[in-house]
A and B are shown apart, each in its own frame.
Chain A
Amino acid sequence: MDGIHDMGGMDGFGKVEVEQNEPPFHETWEGRVMAMQRAMGFAGAWHIDHARYAQERIAPHIYLEASYYQKWALAMETNVLERGLAGKDELDAGHALRPGKALPRKFTPDLVPERLTRGSFFRPPQAEARFKPGSRVRTKNIHPATHTRLPRYARDKVGVVERCHGCHLYPDSVASNLGDDPQWLYTVVFDGPELWGPDSDPTLKVSIEAFEPYLEPA
């Protein structure tokens, strides 16, 4: 979706401000949110792209105001409700009013830290790869209303495939609950002027990680 989250190339946000000696968490609740997200992901309650898609649907004015972990918490509430894992009445009450659903796994203390390692996103290919390193490609001009990982600034642009990362599950499909639909994943590199016009820094090259359905031969 063409949402506020798709920030690449926007102007007006100002300087990058670095906090010296930043702690892992500024508030205790931030750690709880992070840990709940990891535990629910491990449990199979939802996929990471469901979490992303829920964040992308946060109203723009709230998205820009909320802190990182506030956005995570809002997205988690959305997924809990949308996936029928709890009711709004229960979140409002702060207690379970009905038994939970069965989930595939549960993150128990003995699994830390080993199972904090991310799982693999590799999936068996459905077809031969269409492109290889060196292929010239044009990204498609697409504007799906749902989750996609093709950023706006890199649509309808000509670049070169630099690497092939194998076949991965396809976020656009997963986030819409349409299954893994595995797709080949490539690093595609663009010259600065192709993305930003003649005033671009001529020494700039930008790459995206592009799933095969985003690409056509150029």
Chain B
Amino acid sequence: MSHDHHDHHHDHEHSELSETQLRVRALETVLTEKGYVDPKALDAIVEAYETKIGPRNGAAVVAKAWVDPAFKAALLADATKAVATLGHVSRVGDHLVAVENTPTTHNMVVCTLCSCYPWEVLGLPPIWYKSAPYRSRAVKDPRGVLADFGVTLPKDTEIRVWDSTAETRFIVLPMRPARTEGWNEQQLAELVTRDSMIGTSLPKQPDSK
């Protein structure tokens, strides 16, 4: 099972990939025949992550916090509870924590030990988040990581890295971009990128839309 995900474009027929496919198929067949899993439930789970559970959920949370100071305060106090009040965002489990970027502090989230990630608000983690380069460097050289994303922060900005070593999950509340006065939540949510909620990037600027 040494197939590398970067090879997928040109490697569909290769025997190594077939081996993985065969092993996964064998596993699913055995677990199904044993009565442990229902293939229709697996279909539904896959579909949910492909279509329903993604970073739009988190972007809606951020946009709401940008326009509603009471919601923002509630979000920073208890993100699990605050997100539960938003009918249009999927439920989240306990232990969601929102951390706020300010002019003096920039937050970045990593999981050095595995790949813990706030699935319910951001969907499935991107490959880079789960990769050795990110997991190894984020806690030691976050400015170098930010440079990989094309982001440079002022020299005196405090960089706060949150290593998700337990079941607490973190979402970054980025700073609201300038020149968005009077924008509504839907317009603002368009500026909120997935990576800005992980802390490896900043929201889009209004003139870069």
User: Which B residues between 126 and 142 are near A, CB-CB below 8 angstroms?
Assistant: 126-128, 130-142
Which residues of the other chain, A, contact B131 by a CB distance below 8 angstroms?
13, 16-17
Bitwise, B1-13 to A at CB < 8 A (1) or not (0) is 1111100100000
Which residues of the other chain, A, contact B3 by a CB distance below 8 angstroms?
67, 70
Q: A22-B126, A52-B114, A55-B114 known; A80 and B139 CB under 8 Å?
A: no
The answer to whether B36 touches A43, judged by C-beta atoms less than 8 angstroms apart, is: yes
The answer to whether A11 touches B25, judged by C-beta atoms less than 8 angstroms apart, is: no
The answer to whether B166 touches A168, judged by C-beta atoms less than 8 angstroms apart, is: yes
Nearest-neighbor residue (CB-CB) of A183 within chain B: B166
Which residues of the other chain, A, contact B132 by a CB distance below 8 angstroms?
7, 10, 13, 64
Q: A16-B145, A43-B36, A207-B162 known; A90 and B30 CB under 8 Å?
A: yes
The answer to whether A112 touches B112, judged by C-beta atoms less than 8 angstroms apart, is: no
| Cα(A103)–Cα(B127), bound, Å | 32
The answer to whether B44 touches A112, judged by C-beta atoms less than 8 angstroms apart, is: yes
Q: Chain A: residues with CB nearer than 8 A to chain B?
A: 5-11, 13-19, 22, 24-27, 29, 31-36, 38-40, 43, 45, 52, 55, 62, 64-68, 70, 73-74, 76-77, 80, 85-86, 90-96, 99-101, 103, 106-109, 111-114, 116-122, 149-151, 153-154, 163, 165, 168, 171, 185, 187, 189, 195-196, 200-201, 203-211
Q: Chain B: residues with CB nearer than 8 A to chain A?
A: 1-5, 8, 17, 20-31, 33-38, 40-50, 52-54, 90-95, 97, 110, 112-115, 119-120, 123-124, 126-128, 130-143, 145, 148-149, 155-168, 200
